[in-house]
Structure 1
Amino acid sequence: MQHRPVADLMTRDVVRARRDTPFKEIVELLAENDVTAVPVVDELDHPLGVVSEADLLRKCSAQADPSGLTPVPHLEAWERAKAAGVRAEELMSAPAVCARPEWTVVEAARLMAAQNIKRLPVVDEADRLQGIVSRGDLLRIFLRRDDAVRDEITRDVLQQTLGLLPSEVTVEVRDGKVTLGGSVEVKNLIPIIERLCRSVDGVVSVSEHIAYRTDDSRSSPTGR
């Protein structure tokens, strides 16, 4: 059982901006390539930051309303600096929060959630830009076919990891939702099976209806 690495999901042909890329050229890069952000790199292709549509829109939102009906919003000093920026290095959100190609979907998703960001530049051991991975890229694991998810659970989780026979636990997968049945020897094995199944890429939920022959969670064995 192995999570798909970021390298399998990231976009490799990355649209880049340089420190001195002007505002209008950045807008053109976004429009021409149908992207919502670009990493800003130095001469060695090291990511310095990311310029997104949200960064660029500060120039619009900071302007006075010609009608005079809407007051100019209060801006912090850094927001005023961004609104006045004309080059990528003045507009970008920095420093760049990056991922590694070998990271799992789980690691990348947790970093995005912790930093409240939508995308991660992906860098190699020398911190050179190799790709970029977005929230949408990570969600692609849920496009896995149900039979591929079922086969991985049966082969990698139940047989190879836990040493169970195919006849002991049944697996059904529909729209990423896993239903487990059958019977195992001890009760404490059931939550382990459920936890490992949840960790398989593409699994949306797990519902278990597994019986047990011995209740090893208490002194007197029972069945269900």
Structure 2
Amino acid sequence: MMSTNVVRVQRGTFLKEIARLLTEHRISAVPVVDDDDRPVGVVSEADLLRKQLGLTALLPAVRQESDHRSKTEATTAEGLMTSPAVVAYPDWTIVEAGWLMQARSVKRLPVVDDSGRLAGVISRSDLLQVFLRRDRAIQEEVLEGVLTRTLGLSPSAITVDVSDGHVMLSGLVERRSVIPAAVRLCRGVDGVVEVSQRLQYDVDDSTGGS
């Protein structure tokens, strides 16, 4: 669901150039990266507007190297950025990304890989597009992609019902340990809001099972 063609800037990028990029690409914020392409902060259109209007007192307090410099005097990304950057990870679900956006009041989240390098960006519009995915498409990916191809389950033994992104799994699996794995993988499917299950099993292979 993330966009991989990411507009980014360096610490030394001038604010006028950032404003141009935001306008040209019709985005609300841009990640600031270091020389290794690791996000160190974010500059948003709100940051630029506050500076322009002299309302930097409304900016959230953050710890950064340039704390001693007034944001009203900032001329580059380093002086105005909110740091550290609030980031997401590629294996996150849309629910996790959406929750973080809501909790931190941001419209865009840089996505970083295992080494901390910028891999993409998730926006609110990206999340909305995922939520608009049809239930039938979700059902097909869960049944054919997750349960059949990934977990090797028989499609005739599992029923997948989807309503407004809510997935219900029912049927019979051979081993009990498959159930939590199935639920976890289904939650990662684009468009899935929540997963419930009424699965039964033949063999209890869980710890302490008989």
Report the TM range for the smaller structure's normalisation.
0.5 to 0.7
Give the alignment of 1:176-187 within 5 angstroms.
176-187=165-176
Q: Which runs of 5+ in 1 are unaligned?
A: 64-71
**How well do the aligned residues superpose, as a CA RMSD in angstroms?**
4.8
Counterpart amino acid of residue 178 in structure 1: V
Please report how far the alpha carbon of residue 148 of structure 1 lies from its aligned counterpart in structure 2 after TM superposition.
2.6
Counterpart amino acid of residue 109 in structure 2: R
Q: How many residues align?
A: 199
Residues 180 and 62 of structure 1: CA distance in aligned 2, closer, same or farther (over 3 Å): closer
Please report how far the alpha carbon of residue 73 of structure 1 lies from its aligned counterpart in structure 2 after TM superposition.
7.7
Please report how far the alpha carbon of residue 206 of structure 1 lies from its aligned counterpart in structure 2 after TM superposition.
1.5
CA deviations over 1:139-172 (Å, ceiling 9, x no partner): 5433433223222222233223333222211112
Please report how far the alpha carbon of residue 204 of structure 1 lies from its aligned counterpart in structure 2 after TM superposition.
1.1
CA deviations over 1:1-27 (Å, ceiling 9, x no partner): xxx6xxxx316273768835355x644
Conserved in 1, the CA contact under 8 Å of 2:138 and 2:189?
A: yes
CA deviations over 1:26-58 (Å, ceiling 9, x no partner): 445534543222345799999775321232244
Q: TM-score, normalised by structure 1?
A: 0.59
Report % sequence identity: 45
- Give 2:29's aligned residue: 37
- Give 2:92's aligned residue: 106
- Give 1:119's aligned residue: 109
- Give 1:84's aligned residue: 73
Q: Which has the larger radius of gyration?
A: 1
Conserved in 2, the CA contact under 8 Å of 1:82 and 1:91?
A: yes
- Give 2:3's aligned residue: 10
User: How many Å separate the matches in 1 of 2:8 and 2:142?
Assistant: 38
Q: Which runs of 5+ in 2 are unaligned?
A: none
Matched residue SS, 1:106: coil
Give the alignment of 1:102-181 within 5 angstroms.
104-106=90-92, 113=100, 116=104, 118-120=108-110, 132-138=121-127, 140-181=129-170
CA deviations over 1:103-162 (Å, ceiling 9, x no partner): 62519967x949956332779x9x7x8864435435543343322322222223322333
Deviates more, 1:39-48 or 1:196-205: 39-48
Residues 219 and 55 of structure 1: CA distance in aligned 2, closer, same or farther (over 3 Å): closer
Give the alignment of 1:47-86 within 5 angstroms.
49-59=41-51, 60=53, 62=55, 78=67, 81-86=70-75
Counterpart amino acid of residue 161 in structure 1: T
Residues 201 and 133 of structure 1: CA distance in aligned 2, closer, same or farther (over 3 Å): closer
CA deviations over 1:166-193 (Å, ceiling 9, x no partner): 2211112222111222223454543333
